Amino acid sequence: MAEKRIKGFSKLSKEGKIEWLVNNYFDNQEQAYKTLKKYWNSDAKLQKLHDEFIENTISNFYTPYGVAPNFKVDGKMFTLPMAIEESSVVAAASKSASFWLERGGFRTTIISTVKIGHVHFIYPGDPEKLHSFFESVKERFFEDTSSITANMRARGGGIQSIELRDRTDAIDHYYQLEARFETCDSMGANFINSCLEQFSKTFTEALAKDHRFTEAEKEVQVIMCILSNYTPECLVRAEVSCPIEDLDDGSGISPEEFASKFARAVHIAEVEPYRATTHNKGIMNGIDAVIIATGNDFRAVEAACHTYASSSGQYTSLTHCTVQNGKFRFWIEVPLALGTVGGLTTLHPLVKFSLEMLGKPTAAELMSIVASSGLAQNFAALRALVTTGIQKGHMKMHLLNILNQLEATEAEKAIIIDHFKHNTVSHSAAVQKFCEVRGIEKSEVGIKKS
Ligand code: MEV
What CATH number should be reported for the domain holding residue 206?
Answer: 3.30.70.420
The last residue of one of the domains, among 227, 248, 279, is 227
Let me know if residue 101 belongs to a domain.
yes
| CB neighbour class for 234 (10 Å; exposed up to 12, middle 13-18, buried from 19) | buried
Catalytic-role residue among 50, 138, 218, 281: 281
Nearest CA to ligand 1 atom 2: 282
Can you give the pLDDT at residue 251? 73
Catalytic-role residue among 279, 297, 348, 433: 297
- Tell which wins on pLDDT, 397 or 7: 7
Can you give the pLDDT at residue 1? 45
The last residue of one of the domains, among 227, 256, 285, is 227
Is the pLDDT at 2 greater than 60, yes or no?
no
Residue 256 CB contacts under 8 Å (≥ 6 apart), including other chains: 244
Let me know if residue 450 belongs to a domain.
no
116 in helix, strand or coil? strand
pLDDT tens digits, 80-99: 999 999 999 999 999 999 99
CA of 287 to the centre of ligand 1 (A): 13
CA of 85 to the centre of ligand 1 (A): 14
- Are residues 265 and 305 both part of a single domain? yes
Q: What number of CA atoms fall less than 13 Å from residue 87's CA on the CB side?
A: 14
Cα 116 to Cα 141: distance, rounded to the nearest angstrom: 15
211 is catalytic: no
Q: Which amino acid is at 50?
A: H
pLDDT tens digits, 183-226: 999 999 999 999 999 999 999 999 999 999 999 999 999 999 99
Nearest-atom index, ligand 1, CA of 86: 2
Element (H, E) at 199: helix 189-209
CA of 271 to the centre of ligand 1 (A): 17
pLDDT tens digits, 13-49: 999 999 999 999 999 999 999 999 999 999 999 999 9
The last residue of one of the domains, among 341, 363, 388, is 388
Let me know if residue 86 belongs to a domain.
yes
CATH of the domain at 278: 3.90.770.10
Is the pLDDT at 450 greater than 90, yes or no?
no
Classify the C-alpha dihedral 119-120-125-131 as positive or negative: positive
pLDDT tens digits, 224-280: 999 999 999 999 999 999 999 999 877 789 999 999 999 999 999 999 999 999 999
What is the arithmetic mean of pLDDT over 97-123?
Answer: 98
pLDDT tens digits, 356-383: 999 999 999 999 999 999 999 999 999 9
| Mutational pocket test of ligand 1: of 270, 287, 390, 392, the residue with most ligand atoms within 8 Å of the beta carbon | 390
CA of 100 to the centre of ligand 1 (A): 20
> In residues, how long is the chain?
450
Cα 441 to Cα 443: distance, rounded to the nearest angstrom: 5
- Are residues 406 and 272 both part of a single domain? no
- Are residues 195 and 210 both part of a single domain? yes
CA of 278 to the centre of ligand 1 (A): 6
- Are residues 14 and 53 both part of a single domain? yes
Let me know if residue 301 belongs to a domain.
yes
- Are residues 152 and 206 both part of a single domain? yes
**Number of structural domains in the chain:** 4
Helix ranges (DSSP H) in 73-155: 89-101, 127-144, 146-154
- Are residues 360 and 316 both part of a single domain? yes
Looking at the chain, the whole-number percentage of residues with pLDDT higher than 70 is: 98
Can you give the pLDDT at residue 101? 98
Least confident of 139-153, 164-178, 202-216, 381-395: 381-395
pLDDT tens digits, 285-309: 999 999 999 999 999 999 999 999 9
- Are residues 258 and 179 both part of a single domain? no
- Are residues 283 and 353 both part of a single domain? yes
394 is catalytic: yes
Can you give the pLDDT at residue 347? 93
What is the arithmetic mean of pLDDT over 67-87?
Answer: 97
Q: Which residues line ligand 1 (CB under 6 A)?
A: 86, 278-279, 281-282, 285, 381, 390
Helix ranges (DSSP H) in 2-119: 14-25, 29-38, 44-51, 89-101
Let me know if residue 449 belongs to a domain.
no
Range of the domain at 32: 1-62
- Are residues 372 and 272 both part of a single domain? yes
Let me know if residue 37 belongs to a domain.
yes
Catalytic-role residue among 74, 86, 197, 256: 86
- Are residues 50 and 122 both part of a single domain? no
- Are residues 86 and 183 both part of a single domain? no
- Are residues 154 and 219 both part of a single domain? yes
Let me know if residue 214 belongs to a domain.
yes
CA dihedral 121, 194, 289, 112 (to 10 degrees): 80
Cα 197 to Cα 229: distance, rounded to the nearest angstrom: 17
Region for 222 from its dihedrals, namely left if φ exceeds 0, alpha if ψ lies in -120 to 50, beta otherwise: beta
Can you give the pLDDT at residue 138? 97
